[in-house]
Structure 1
Amino acid sequence: MVDGLYGYIDRRGRYVVEPQFDYAQSRRDGRAYVERDGVGQEWIF
């Protein structure tokens, strides 16, 4: 979390998705649920 926003990092700690989400939740199936400005969506990594 940076400045209250969530992003995603790789195993080395480098951002693969810059912090931009108000809420983010990862799942083991390669998908993630994210919210930005109150709108939710599912991403596939």
Structure 2
Amino acid sequence: MRQQLKNSAEELDSVRSELQTSKGKQASLEALQQAALGQEIKKLTLV
């Protein structure tokens, strides 16, 4: 029982770590997308 709890806790930590990594990647992609949209808007307003 203890070993099963330990294994579950380790798996939970691993999944949480993956989630944090994914959230970081998502935030980076969203920032890039916003920057790209800003550049596109600048181009359109200069035309």
Normalised TM-score (structure 2): 0.18
Q: Which has the higher helix share?
A: 2
The structure with the largest alpha-carbon Rg is 2
Q: Which has the higher strand share?
A: 1
